A = this chain, B = another copy of it.
Amino acid sequence: MANANYNELSKQMKEIKLLSYSQGMLYWDIRTYMPSEGIEQRGEALAILGRIIHEKNTSKKIGELISQCNKSDSGLGQIQKRNVELWKRDYDRETKLPSDLVVRLTKQSTITEHKWQEAKQKQNFEMVEPDLETLVELVRERAQALDAEKSMYDVLLDEYEPKMTAAGLRSYFTPLKEGVIKLIKKYQDMVADNPPNISILNKNIPVDQQKQVSKWIMNFLGMPPNRSRIDEAEHPFTTGFAKDVRITTHYLDDDPTGAIYSTYHEGGHALYELNTPEEHWWTGVGETVSMGIHESQSRFCENIVGKNPNFLKYFYPNVVQKYMPAFKSLDTDTFIKTVNAIIPSKIRIYADEVTYNLHVIFRFEIEQDLIAGKISVGELPDIWNTKMEEYLGMKIENNAEGVLQDTHWYAGLIGYFPTYVLGNIYNSQMLATMKKAIPAWEDQLALGDFSKIRNWLVTNVQNQGSIYDPIDLIKNICNEPPDTKYFLDYLNEKYSRIYNI
């Protein structure tokens, strides 16, 4: 009987997951190929699909099946129990939200995101301020509806990174901030007489040539062509699941490294979606476990591999210079140094591997205070600018390059930013463990061979799906909980090697 309930529950959850997959594909189409005027009818179609998914997710039937499966005599195995636990978590979450709040939030975030686009274009924060205020209020309502006992920020964070708390993040971010600032200082002293010029990377490269490099990268990463694809979109993203996983990149004529590194980044996300455990696909355990672990995989491919000096000794002459002849005038060593240059930027997505973390840490600090009501929406621009100067020594001239630069808050995504840095912390710790299993990992990269490294990631991380919560996954892989020191060690070692500092 228990098994009959479990089987029925699995079937229902698979249907929901397949509908979400369809939804994802229709969003992919909006961002890649849909004729512009299709947006209104597509929006209506997606709203209906969204409502159907929500109704299924909160149906009494699923609630009853979960209760049945949760009985002590259910006789379910370990993995089955974990699935029920994951499904119950999502069910409880969905059913706690009054549907009028869901509707108001969806509507308000659509409006706010839309207003944000205009506000950013016009460098005018006041244009979006009242809508952002309403949105933040709704996000707070949402957090309280989900769990009135816990701090609102922790409730929001938990949706992106299960079991993570603000206190936990602070314990990681405090030493990280200190170490990163120390490294930046050391680097800046070192290059003071001869500062790197990153504009030498802005060569004019035809899109066709850039596409060939992206194709090479997908093949290098081991993305199977019959299960994945790449297209172009304004903002790169990854979507899909199992045997149909898609990445996008954005080709700019004068910024070829932009498309190269977004292909590595999205390719890393894609590998994770392609390699969750096949025997558990369409159940909870068969899904990726958190945004932080997702980012660990994308940033592993982008930074640990894609910007590794030994790998670049292979990749640059054999791929970049081969497919983009305009780079023939730039030598490998200069490319390595420039791609890895530490240069504070006002814009997060253009930041290097080191200063990037400070962008995220100060956003984390601001959004906590925002949700806790310690600061108001109106104060955001000033606080942003102050932090930017304090952390990165940059003076913000207008809000478009300041508080308006990222879409997240205006889309109602609060508690999301920290997962980017968690990805860095996780993946450098994974790397430390991987090195013991594959001591020659950099020699392999120097030959353009990613296969053993890929296998290690697939087996130890991606194939674990959602069997464990993120922190437990790290413990299992690395035999200790997440620890920031690995990321600092990785950065210090890398920069001492490239720049002899």
Once bound together, how far apart are the Cα atoms of A427 and B309, in whole Å? 67
| A29 cross-chain contacts in B, Cβ below 8 A | 25, 29
Judge whether B40 and A18 touch: CB under 8 Å.
no
| A227 cross-chain contacts in B, Cβ below 8 A | 35, 37-38
Judge whether B52 and A231 touch: CB under 8 Å.
no
Chain A interface SS verdict (over half): helix
| A501 cross-chain contacts in B, Cβ below 8 A | none
A242-B41, A244-B41 known; A49 and B22 CB under 8 Å? yes
Once bound together, how far apart are the Cα atoms of A40 and B14, in whole Å? 14
Q: Among the listed B19, B37, B42, B244, which residue makes an inter-chain contact with A49, where contact means beta carbons less than 8 Å apart? A: B19
Judge whether B25 and A41 touch: CB under 8 Å.
no
Fill in one digit per residue for A198-219: 1 if any B CB lies within 8 Å of its CB, else 0. Answer: 0000000000000000000000
- A21 interface hit (Cβ, 8 Å): yes
Judge whether B19 and A41 touch: CB under 8 Å.
no
Once bound together, how far apart are the Cα atoms of A89 and B228, in whole Å? 42
A43 (CB) vs chain B CBs: closest residue: B18
Judge whether B33 and A48 touch: CB under 8 Å.
no
Q: Among the listed B18, B46, B224, which residue makes an inter-chain contact with A44, where contact means beta carbons less than 8 Å apart? A: B18
Once bound together, how far apart are the Cα atoms of A38 and B246, in whole Å? 11
| A34 cross-chain contacts in B, Cβ below 8 A | 244
* Interface size, chain A (Cβ < 8 Å): 37
Q: Among the listed B33, B231, B244, B246, which residue makes an inter-chain contact with A229, where contact means beta carbons less than 8 Å apart? A: B33
- A86 interface hit (Cβ, 8 Å): no
A38 (CB) vs chain B CBs: closest residue: B244
Judge whether B37 and A226 touch: CB under 8 Å.
yes
- A222 interface hit (Cβ, 8 Å): no
| A25 cross-chain contacts in B, Cβ below 8 A | 26, 29
Once bound together, how far apart are the Cα atoms of A21 and B43, in whole Å? 12
Within 8 A of B (CB), among A48-107: 48-49, 52
A22 to chain B, nearest CB (A): 5
A25-B26, A225-B35 known; A243 and B40 CB under 8 Å? yes
Judge whether B26 and A41 touch: CB under 8 Å.
no
Judge whether A33 and B231 touch: CB under 8 Å.
yes
- A36 interface hit (Cβ, 8 Å): yes
A19-B49, A44-B18, A45-B19 known; A35 and B226 CB under 8 Å? yes
- A331 interface hit (Cβ, 8 Å): no
- A389 interface hit (Cβ, 8 Å): no
Most buried by B among A22, A40, A49, A245: A22
- A15 interface hit (Cβ, 8 Å): yes
| A45 cross-chain contacts in B, Cβ below 8 A | 18-19, 21-22
Judge whether B229 and A42 touch: CB under 8 Å.
no
| A33 cross-chain contacts in B, Cβ below 8 A | 33, 229, 231
Judge whether B41 and A21 touch: CB under 8 Å.
yes
Q: Among the listed B18, B35, B225, B231, which residue makes an inter-chain contact with A41, where contact means beta carbons less than 8 Å apart? A: B18
| A242 cross-chain contacts in B, Cβ below 8 A | 41
Once bound together, how far apart are the Cα atoms of A42 and B19, in whole Å? 10
List 27 interface pairs A-B (beta carbons < 8 Å), by A numbering.
A18-B44, A18-B48, A19-B45, A19-B48, A21-B41, A21-B45, A22-B46, A26-B26, A29-B29, A33-B33, A33-B229, A33-B231, A34-B244, A35-B227, A35-B244, A35-B245, A35-B246, A36-B226, A37-B226, A37-B227, A37-B244, A38-B227, A38-B243, A40-B243, A41-B242, A41-B244, A42-B244
For the complex with contacts A18-B44, A33-B231, 12 further pairs of A-B residues with Cβ separation under 8 Å are A18-B48, A19-B48, A22-B26, A22-B46, A22-B49, A29-B29, A35-B224, A35-B227, A35-B244, A38-B244, A41-B241, A41-B243
Closest 3 pairs (CB-CB, A-B): A38-B244, A18-B45, A37-B243
